[in-house]
Structure 1
């Protein structure tokens, strides 16, 4: 199984590459483990320049798609990071922020290094990896590099000697990663269940108000599309689930919806359009707009649902959410 080692230092003069290359040869000693390396200095991602949130799964740039493919193709990931000023390097956070659903349940470990082992760097990075949903394997490895390990050129004089005290820990971590990759954390499988068309609006609101992205995504077909009130488009059930994981942990953490009214329109024997007028409180949209938003918002949720055959339930193919209060507020501001 394949594990990708991510070199987190991008400085022209660094020891991260030396450490990474030694770790590859060490991890290759674990039977069944195939290690490869990606160097963020060579990947050369610009500071996040994707126009849409990563949770949408829409990547406009080739460098993003290349990075996403690297993570998707790997069975596991090991970050190798130094400690700079009590934290980990900015390029590592930048690389993580480019992606979202690629991290979900991905077996991941961290190896830190520095004059005191890079423990603060490790602790901070672990918090981020836990939030984005990786299947984190702990404990990691903390490599202490004394001053006399460095040569006049700022690089390690003898990488093997400097890392020798830690290689048994690296092999043990490699074995733990391999075990986790062989029996990965199972992602909840959402299956369509029978449901009446006139219940879709209520079920959507129930999933939203309990902040349950899995249940909300379960109302949609596998290749559905959802457009939110800010115009963000989420593709597929996985993208809808990932996007709502993000907003339920952030701007909509305290939000709740109330149904004001609902109307259903049959468009054929197997297609229905559902209109849900809603009101909402508890939102925090300060990261999306500088315009003051009313405490209570009003809007319209449009659901287009289909029923493929008599033995399956209705499921949403397209969903469009409009915030009347937000649109009115922006119009007044201009």
Structure 2
């Protein structure tokens, strides 16, 4: 049996963002874990416009090439890690927009979070995003990586240098993602609604 596909989604799209080095670190952790076929998905590269589909996503009748490509990409994933910043005590617009484009493609897939920011480590954004993913029939994990004062963990080359606690939290989250992905596989294979 092939390994489950884990997509590590970098949610921040702004210039000068910290999300990309955080996402690259998480990709390295997932490769080292060896339980997944990991891939980095950078929403800045995906470049979705503000939701512009005329039909409700549950119908899966997409008209635009960018939506069809996004659908195919998300559809092949078995699990996710969302790398999210905290903006003004909440999650950023790009991750909400990316989620809102689709419906069935997200269903019955576990999602872990790597949140980052200032003193709160992105935890307020994470807690606000959980009901959004639950509405899409995703399964948000309790296990997460929260990075307070994230810029303190960047070196001169803008690479993340994690603490031991961050590395341990990532390993625990990846273990749980592997378990949940396997447990939810029958629901994914039986087909989502429609």
TM-score w.r.t. the length of structure 1 is 0.53
1:61 equivalent in alignment to 2:61:
no
Using the TM superposition, give the Cα deviation of residue 146 of structure 1 relative to its aligned residue in structure 2, in angstroms.
5.3
Match of 1:128 among 132, 139, 146: 132
Q: Are the aligned partners of 2:111 and 2:140 in contact in 1 as well (CA < 8 Å)?
A: yes
Using the TM superposition, give the Cα deviation of residue 136 of structure 1 relative to its aligned residue in structure 2, in angstroms.
2.2
Using the TM superposition, give the Cα deviation of residue 93 of structure 1 relative to its aligned residue in structure 2, in angstroms.
0.3
Query: 2:165 corresponds to which residue?
Result: 165
Aligned-partner Cα distance in 2 for 1:171–1:124 = 24
1:41 equivalent in alignment to 2:25:
no
How many residues matched? 190
Q: How does 1:1-334 map to 2 (within 5 A)?
A: 1-115=4-118, 116-145=120-149, 148-149=152-153, 157-160=158-161, 162-184=162-184, 186-187=186-187, 238-239=193-194
Using the TM superposition, give the Cα deviation of residue 103 of structure 1 relative to its aligned residue in structure 2, in angstroms.
1.3
Q: Are the aligned partners of 2:81 and 2:112 in contact in 1 as well (CA < 8 Å)?
A: yes
What is the RMSD of the two structures over their aligned residues, measured on CA atoms?
A: 2.4
Alignment deviations for residues 211-251 of structure 1 (CA, whole Å, 9 cap, x no partner): xxxxxxxxxxx9xxxxxxxxxxxxxx933xxxxxxxxxxxx
Using the TM superposition, give the Cα deviation of residue 174 of structure 1 relative to its aligned residue in structure 2, in angstroms.
0.6
Change (3 A) 1:13 1:57: same
- After the TM superposition, list the runs of 4 or more consecutive aligned residues in structure 1 that deviate by more than 4 angstroms: 146-151, 155-158
Using the TM superposition, give the Cα deviation of residue 149 of structure 1 relative to its aligned residue in structure 2, in angstroms.
4.4
Q: Rg: which structure is higher?
A: 1
Q: Which has the higher contact order (CA 8 A, sep 6+)?
A: 2
Structure 2 spans left out of the alignment, 5+ residues = none
Give 1 or 2: higher helix fraction: 2
Q: Are the aligned partners of 2:78 and 2:109 in contact in 1 as well (CA < 8 Å)?
A: yes
Using the TM superposition, give the Cα deviation of residue 179 of structure 1 relative to its aligned residue in structure 2, in angstroms.
1.2
Q: Are the aligned partners of 1:135 and 1:185 in contact in 2 as well (CA < 8 Å)?
A: no
Alignment deviations for residues 261-288 of structure 1 (CA, whole Å, 9 cap, x no partner): xxxxxxxxxxxxxxxxxxxxxxxxxxxx
Using the TM superposition, give the Cα deviation of residue 183 of structure 1 relative to its aligned residue in structure 2, in angstroms.
2.1
Structure 1 spans left out of the alignment, 5+ residues = 191-221, 223-236, 240-334
Using the TM superposition, give the Cα deviation of residue 145 of structure 1 relative to its aligned residue in structure 2, in angstroms.
2.1
Aligned-partner Cα distance in 2 for 1:144–1:131 = 28
TM-score w.r.t. the length of structure 2 is 0.89
Q: Are the aligned partners of 1:18 and 1:156 in contact in 2 as well (CA < 8 Å)?
A: no
Q: Are the aligned partners of 2:18 and 2:151 in contact in 1 as well (CA < 8 Å)?
A: no
SS in 1 for 2:49: coil
